[in-house]
Chain A
Amino acid sequence: QKEVEQDPGPLSVPEGAIVSLNCTYSNSAFQYFMWYRQYSRKGPELLMYTYSSGNKEDGRFTAQVDKSSKYISLFIRDSQPSDSATYLCAMSRISGSRLTFGEGTQLTVNP
């Protein structure tokens, strides 16, 4: 069983839709949770960074962490075609230490 599970998709939504991306994990030692966006042939770009359980909002993006369920989510409101990319969840035990990634979800937002 993988430490981090993420549905690879692909996920296709119309412009303006609310997108929900999710990851589950098995290692209860994970404390730091991140979401990255990766465009084709580019390095991952950090979108959200949260510590422990709770919600964090940044513009159209909201990250949620539920440590009791070992479940994290990323919501994208008013999705745009420019949001079309692969979204990777990642987590670590210690801040700044090695990351464990999900498989990535490929998202397409259709105009």
Chain B
Amino acid sequence: GAVVSQHPSRVICKSGTSVKIECRSLDFQATTMFWYRQFPKQSLMLMATSNEGSKATYEQGVEKDKFLINHASLTLSTLTVTSAHPEDSSFYICSAPPEGSEQYFGPGTRLTVT
């Protein structure tokens, strides 16, 4: 199957700082990538759809000014959590579909805001 990577796998930051998470498709190009967050013992919640060369589409209730998404190339999308607070602590996961195919997920990034 296709490979999607995320960096970092784990990050701890102080309240008020910003954190950037990278999502890369390693062996295919992705015009679209998806960002999810997952709380313990819950399913994945779609945050936004990242589109290469255009603005991301955010789900209802997700603050676009807080969760900045940049799809800089066909293999890289970044999620920046700005002015992070403890309630932003979560597991963030990205996914990408090879052209016209099923979606593959990254290994996830665990964010802890102290």
A103 to B42, CA, bound (A): 7
A36 within 8 A of B: yes
A98 to B56, CA, bound (A): 13
Interchain nearest-CB distance for A43 vs B (Å): 4
Q: Which chain B positions have C-beta within 8 A of A41? A: 91, 108, 110
Residues B100 and A98 in contact, CB atoms below 8 Å apart: no
Given A43-B105, A43-B108, A44-B105: A99 and B46 interface contact (C-beta under 8 Å): yes
Interface residues of A in 22-61 (CB under 8 A from B): 32, 34, 36, 41-46, 49
- How many of A's residues come within 8 Å of B, CB to CB? 21
Q: Which chain B positions have C-beta within 8 A of A45? A: 105
Identify 6 residue pairs between A and B in the complex whose beta-carbon atoms are under 8 Å apart, listed by A's number: A46-B104, A46-B105, A95-B101, A96-B99, A96-B102, A102-B43
15 further interface pairs, Cβ-Cβ under 8 Å (given A43-B105, A46-B105): A34-B102, A41-B91, A43-B107, A44-B44, A44-B93, A44-B105, A46-B103, A49-B102, A95-B100, A96-B32, A96-B101, A96-B103, A97-B97, A98-B49, A101-B44
